[in-house]
């Protein structure tokens, strides 16, 4: 997949989740602490766009596609499974 500079992460994470962009400093601190997949090479932090879901979760952002999804099985499904 494509690799991007860390400076592009706040804007891309915001576009991906529909939420307010995190600060660059927060992204930088988490990358340095190895809290999400990022690579430091040639004096530059980069990340892979295939990891954007994981990175967004570490930043406390939920991907827009998951907002409104039920977090549990519907009651009928639970009752049917117990029978």
pLDDT at 76: 58
The residues facing 16 across adjacent strands are none
Residue 79: Cβ within 10 Å count: 10
pTM of the entire structure? 0.74
pLDDT in tens, the chain (83 residues): 799 999 999 999 999 999 999 999 999 999 999 999 999 999 999 999 999 999 999 999 986 666 555 555 556 555 555 55
Q: Which two tokens stand for residue 50?
A: 């295939």
pLDDT at 42: 95
- Taking phi over 0 as left and psi of -120 to 50 as alpha, with beta for the rest, 4 belongs to beta
Q: How far apart are CA 75 and CA 77, in angstroms?
A: 5
């Amino acid at each position: 997949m494509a690799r991007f500079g860390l400076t592009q992460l706040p804007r891309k994470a915001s576009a991906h989740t529909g939420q307010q962009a995190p600060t660059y400093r927060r992204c930088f601190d988490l990358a340095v602490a190895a809290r999400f997949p990022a690579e430091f090479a040639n004096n530059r932090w980069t990340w892979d766009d295939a990891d954007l879901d994981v990175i967004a979760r570490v930043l406390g952002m939920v991907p827009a596609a998951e907002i409104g999804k039920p977090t549990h099985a519907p009651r009928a499904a639970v009752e049917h499974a117990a029978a």
